[in-house]
Amino acid sequence: MPLMPDTGALIEKYTSNYGITVPDQYLFVNKMKQKLTRSGVEYVISKYVAKAQVSHPEIAILNVTPHIFRHSKAMHLVQANVNLIYIRDFLGHESVKTTEIYAKADSAAKREALEKASEKIIPESRYKDKKREELLDWLKEMI
């Protein structure tokens, strides 16, 4: 998986600070210096969600999971018009059909696509230059 230059620099700094010098050492470990498991990641997230709720009780934080972060990143990629094939690869999906869920979920992208398509199909309105009040008066006359 390719890394952004800033991410690579952060990882280099992290590995230097924590003395990670051997390629087979785990990058993220728990208190017992063992690899951080899925449940360990969930524990860390829930710990910081609880802290956030204490600091900011006005924010209703519900069920925050690693999958929420994954889903959010996928939606950001869709909204940035990243090709679904690349998003599939980033998420590790076998099939692009699994990844299509994210594209289907983005209603803003759907609206934009329809608006772009309609510009080419629907001719300009002859009432476009009328002021709002004039248009409302005209519509009332039509009733």
In a domain, 132, yes or no: no
Give the domain range for residue 6.
1-29
In a domain, 88, yes or no: yes
CA distances in angstroms from 62 to 44, 46, 57, listed in the order given:
15, 10, 12
Residues 69 and 21 in one domain: no
Residues 24 and 67 in one domain: no
- What percentage of the chain carries pLDDT values higher than 90? 24
pLDDT digits (tens, 9 = 90+) for 13-51: 999 998 888 888 899 999 998 999 999 999 999 999 989
2: Cα separation from own chain's centroid: 18
In a domain, 130, yes or no: no
Mean pLDDT of the chain: 83
Identify the residue with better confidence: 82 or 110.
82
In a domain, 133, yes or no: no
Q: Give the position of tokens 């690693």.
A: 66
Residues 25 and 69 in one domain: no
In a domain, 131, yes or no: no
* Per-residue DSSP letter, 115: H
Structurally, how many domains does the chain consist of? 2
Residue type, 77: L
Residues 67 and 115 in one domain: yes
Residue 87 class from Cβ within 10 Å (0-12 exposed, 13-18 middle, 19+ buried)?
buried
Q: What is the pTM of this model?
A: 0.61
Residues 22 and 67 in one domain: no
Residues 25 and 74 in one domain: no
